[in-house]
Amino acid sequence: MDLAGRVALVTGAGRRLGQEIAVGLGRAGCDVAVHYRASADGAETTARLVREAGRTARKFAADLRDAAAVRALPDAVAASFGRLDILINSAAVMVRREFDEITAADWSDALDLNLSAAFFAAQGAAPHLRRTGGKIVNLADLAAFEVWPSYLPLNVTKAGIIMLTQALARVLAPEITVNAVAPGAVFPPDDWPAEARARLVATTPLRRLGAPDDVVRAVLFLLHNDYITGVVLPVDGGRLVR
């Protein structure tokens, strides 16, 4: 896919990797629909950076815990821009909870935001993406492949993203490709102490934390290639093989 002039919807684009991917797409030539819920200031920053790259950016607020709102989001983007070519399902919640502290609200929020929203966004986007030979890239996580005892809702929902990616790749072929990127130690939680970050570096074969651009370039690779679908690409510095 030639990205110049394409329209991309990025969920969770007001902060962290969602913001980095949205800005990266703008710099690659895309017009960007910047989705956010609570991160209004961050979404404005994202939009400004996309515009500084010479592309159009518009903000779209939606609560991804509301399936109907998620389902309607791609229609709103397509109505505003006149088309939709790319969906990046980036929005997610990562909350540290010990097993016996996990509440029903914690569990429901993780399922709704990390997994269900990706499905309903894809469902809403599919008619538009079929018309343009579009693409979906989901953000999985290294947590999909290994157990993190203090982050079980994240483990379960990101493992679900792997199966969702493979299922959508099958269901939406041949018009739409669906892939995922699984970042490793790129954006550790903000509250992690320095010693925890140092331990991550020491146990990563490439002996460094990843940079956001490592993930952005992986997303761009999957968007540029028209003969890859159903693939999950780890961007983890080799942690899966350590």
With contact defined as beta carbons under 8 Å apart, do 122 and 178 qualify? yes
Cα-only R_g, the chain: 17
Q: Which of 60, 81, 119, 151 is catalytic?
A: 151
What span, in angstroms and rounded, lies between the C-alpha atoms of 188 and 2? 32
Q: Catalytic site residue 151?
A: yes
What span, in angstroms and rounded, lies between the C-alpha atoms of 198 and 221? 29
What span, in angstroms and rounded, lies between the C-alpha atoms of 225 and 220? 9
Alpha helix positions (H), the chain: 16-27, 40-52, 67-81, 104-110, 117-132, 152-172, 194-202, 212-224
- Could you give the residue numbers annotated as active site? 151
